[in-house]
A and B are shown apart, each in its own frame.
Chain A
């Protein structure tokens, strides 16, 4: 194997190892032993929040949506079929959660519509719904996927939205990634060092077989 190829392999292994190792450790630190990925955003205003299946139903694992309202507010949360949620929300003002950002564990929330804030609790389209003072949570087990979650507030405003995905395998995968990364990094370093050593040995051999070396050897023998 040529020196260039050996070096390329060593660098590749090292970079892969570093990326996997650092990434794995970073995920372990954020996911914890339970493998819970939590995304959060701060809110203001009383418009309803709509969380579509493209956010909620992307993993076969329980998803918990938690909402915090202002002091004294009555916060309501409900889950239904996507088309039912659209019908129930109708022309009411709402903001759509469009995605998550793993780099900073935040939720992407669109801008509010122009309708009026509304109450949806009386609509009989919800698979599950909860109402409580200031803070309410709802866990979707994915059995009824796809589902849309709608959040509304009465007598106050929404201040915080959190979505947690719980998948224990993520913790294990993160640890495995970190270990594989460490292994690859070590393999890269070893490959590089072996290359250097073999180069040193071969240069020494070449030096011993050169005319100058032979002349020195002959001089020595005389």
Chain B
């Protein structure tokens, strides 16, 4: 009797100890905490979609591909450019290829090959996505702004806009890169002095010649507008009574991209097509077309009129208050005709 009576508490003690030990060692999540295991963090869906390093690598790769594509000729060059560019950048590059590489200036933005700096990325997990970056050409000291876009997960980024900044111009502060910045619809003027689309249209009218339409909310004191006005005035003077000159810029609305700035304003990447028309008066028999234009037009002389179309990518800053200002612009002769 005695041995059996003593074995019961021993067995109970053993079973209890094992149960307690098992509970302590395996349960309640204490073990996970001790060894540093925690639930995976939740994905932030409102931040920039990729890291700054990855974005920088993408920009560098795309700009290299663009430089390579721009150096290619013929159908192969066309295909290569279409693979790495779209929008205003592609139109600009195709026009440059058509005119010939010699007509592209030394400060032409797409030929700049320097280490890019990412300025901003579109926020969120959806598509399309955009990267806003800048490069500095050490030779000309010209800073360029580049917009790269990706339409879908399976589609790599391509260059959509590339515009040299105007001398003395500055891009206002953008949100922290990792936070991402939001796309703004071109017709969304909430909190802005003008809607982006309206700002582009107003700027285009303000730089027309000889009858610009001034807008109190749009500044034309930038280097591009003043240079254009001075050049047009000089041409008009040179032509005298022999011909009339008109410059008619029009906006290509579907190639407008708008990014929000920190101060609530926006930076607008737009494209204009500018029609320059020289109409001969009765006093002129013919006009000799400059060689650069002659190559595009296919004629060396015009007897009635001369028309050339230039692609003009521009970058405007539309603030919450004050005036719309241009901070970047370029132009590329694209087509022309003579009568």
Instruction: List A residues at the B interface (Cβ < 8 Å).
Output: 4, 7-8, 11-12, 14-16, 19-20, 23, 52-54, 56-61, 80-84, 87-88, 90, 122-128, 144-146, 167, 169-170, 173
Contacts and interface: CB of A to CB of B under 8 A. Distances in A.
Interface centre among B9, B14, B54, B155 (most CB of A within 10 A): B54
Interface string B1-40: 0000000011001101110110011000000001111111
Nearest to B47: A81
B13 A8 contact: yes
A124 B36 contact: no
Contacts of B125: 81, 83-84
Interface string B51-67: 10110001000000000
A19 B17 CA distance: 12
Contact of A125 (B14, B24, B40, B49): B49
Nearest to B62: A124
Given A19-B21, A123-B154, A83 B38 contact: no
A219 B78 CA distance: 127
Contact of B49 (A16, A84, A145): A84
Given A12-B13, A14-B17, A19-B21, 10 more contacts: A12-B16, A15-B14, A52-B40, A56-B40, A88-B153, A123-B156, A124-B156, A127-B50, A127-B54, A144-B51
A55 to B, nearest CB: 8
Given A56-B40, A83-B125, A167-B36, A4 B50 contact: no
> Chain B, interface size: which category?
35 or more
Contacts of B54: 124, 126-128
A88 B156 CA distance: 11
Nearest to A14: B17
Contacts of B25: 16, 19-20, 23
A57 B13 CA distance: 41
Nearest to A170: B35
15 contacts: A4-B9, A8-B13, A15-B14, A16-B17, A58-B39, A58-B40, A59-B37, A60-B38, A82-B43, A84-B125, A90-B154, A122-B156, A125-B49, A125-B153, A146-B40
Contact of B153 (A7, A53, A90): A90
Given A11-B17, A60-B36, A125-B50, A83 B45 contact: yes
B42 interface: yes
A56 to B, nearest CB: 7
Contacts of A12: 13, 16-17, 20-21
B3 to A, nearest CB: 15
A98 to B, nearest CB: 13
Contacts of B38: 58-60
B40 A54 contact: yes
A83 B39 CA distance: 17
A146 B43 contact: yes
* In the complex, the 5 A-B pairs of residues with the closest C-beta atoms, listed nearest first: A87-B153, A53-B40, A12-B17, A8-B13, A57-B40
A7 B21 contact: no
B86 interface: no
Contacts of A169: 36
B111 interface: no
Contacts of B155: 123
A123 B153 CA distance: 6
A220 to B, nearest CB: 29
B13 A4 contact: yes
A84 B156 CA distance: 13
B154 A7 contact: no
Nearest to B6: A3
A83 B10 CA distance: 57
Contact of B157 (A4, A23, A124, A146): A124
B53 to A, nearest CB: 8
Contact of B21 (A16, A128, A173): A16
B188 to A, nearest CB: 26
Contacts of B157: 124
A145 to B, nearest CB: 5
B153 A57 contact: no
B50 A173 contact: no
Interface centre among A12, A23, A53 (most CB of B within 10 A): A12
A137 B229 CA distance: 59
A70 to B, nearest CB: 26
A75 B24 CA distance: 44
B150 interface: yes
B125 to A, nearest CB: 5
